[in-house]
Chain A
């Protein structure tokens, strides 16, 4: 699981690549925690490279979402593959997250 980052104003744009499962969930959680602790509570997660997400991955996304929203921030998701979108739909997570077709739309939603 790779996690790469770049900044766009006060928004951190992070790209996830590979499998977010029981093996990688703790590592991703730690990295996202570090981003939040650095004071960045506005995030776009670009999921174009995310091949698989397990229940552990879903739980990490949800717990991080709660952390940033507590601090008036948000996590916006972009570029989901159909199989990932299906898992989000089944889990009822599409009601919880703001999901966008592309990174720009997700990023712009913070200012719009």
Chain B
């Protein structure tokens, strides 16, 4: 213990000193979402603003406010080459005008893609305080961070008492760290849009597809949270997910999620990223049921399939009459990213009794635009190919596309559209010789 404490003290420094060795042209990866380290990111941005650093390559996935206020700030665009592995509100505008580049990926491959394709000079991330054995925890951000922490040339951690200490394969030893800084900033909290009238119908339809004893993955966003609240009368659900969110805490506290019937990691809530509220982070802290693993494990389709009755629930932006789903491209530009959608669509379908569900509102822009379209917008990308799509759900119904012909698919998909759009979709389907 004394040795670890002594190491900690030796490595403890100020943010300015910790980042002082970063050189021009460095490649930097930072912790994801709530693990964005504010003090370190500010110290690096201060050096860039002072003209001490230029040509930085900064890699983010779902960049949030701590990085958008610092390294992704517009005034640093001439010194920072920014890359988003999943586009967020913080990077969407810059991506639209070419000041931030999207990197296409399946989330489960990101650790490998970064390890094999980036020569990472620096990793900065937030971790929980060191324990008596000299271990920090990656807390809310295991994902690719635990991998890049070990393949970069310099690892700097920002220790924050608000970062929950979690279990699983989530530990980092003081001997692996080059510099330590401390901060007490509250973690970023996530808010979702308010309820929509369609939520009730979608939630019920999805809940009907989830059997008791299922293991759940819920995507990131408002709709998956609404769906979770409709599962309150289920029994013995389990969690094996990419993103752990506040609705899951409710399911656990109410005894709906027990994890008793999981084949893999029974009784444990397995995740790779946590995005929620202060209350959720406190629930996670030192809670032995909370197990975090690298995304190369949690999102590996073969691992996902090892739980029987695995049900994945994600959202899409639009579906065409062939069954091709776009979950990431809007108005001619990358809106979000592929993320782990296809990882879980494939993993859940390959699980015994498993289902993958893609749920979405049938319309957008206050009912003026149909999300069921004859063809995807020109230039749009396909997130989930038609061969992979299993269940689709809107407020108008639930359909299973597996084993269906193009004619059956088109008719089923049109049944999900708002009634006002169905006649024109039927005519389009005829013109496409689908009927």
Interface residues of A (CB under 8 A from B): 54-55, 58-60, 62-63, 66, 87, 90-93, 95-96
Contacts and interface: CB of A to CB of B under 8 A. Distances in A.
B75 interface: yes
Interface stretch (B11-19, B96-104, B370-378): B96-104
A66 B78 contact: yes
A92 B93 contact: yes
Interface in B61-101: 73-75, 77-78, 93-94, 96-99
B77 A58 contact: yes
* Most central of B73, B74, B75, B97 by chain A CB within 10 Å: B97
B94 A91 contact: yes
Contact of B78 (A54, A63, A87, A92): A63
Interface of B: 73-75, 77-78, 93-94, 96-99
Contacts, number: 36
Contacts of A66: 78
B74 A96 contact: yes
A58 B75 CA distance: 11
B98 A90 contact: no
A92 B98 contact: no
Consensus secondary structure, chain A interface: helix
Nearest to A60: B78
Contacts of B97: 55, 58, 87, 90-91
A54 B74 contact: no
A62 B78 contact: yes
* Most central of A66, A87, A92 by chain B CB within 10 Å: A92
Given A90-B93, A91-B93, A92-B93, A54 B98 contact: yes
A62 B75 contact: yes
Given A91-B93, A91-B94, A92-B93, A55 B99 contact: yes
Contact of A59 (B73, B77, B93, B96): B77
Given A90-B97, A96-B74, 7 more contacts: A58-B77, A59-B99, A62-B74, A90-B93, A91-B74, A91-B94, A91-B97
B53 to A, nearest CB: 13
Given A87-B97, A90-B97, A92-B93, A59 B78 contact: yes
A26 to B, nearest CB: 14
Contact of A90 (B73, B75, B78, B96): B96
B75 A96 contact: yes
Contact of A95 (B74, B96, B99): B74
27 contacts: A55-B77, A55-B97, A55-B99, A58-B77, A58-B99, A59-B78, A59-B99, A60-B78, A62-B74, A62-B75, A62-B77, A62-B78, A66-B78, A90-B93, A90-B96, A91-B74, A91-B77, A91-B93, A91-B94, A91-B97, A92-B73, A92-B74, A92-B93, A92-B94, A93-B74, A95-B74, A96-B75
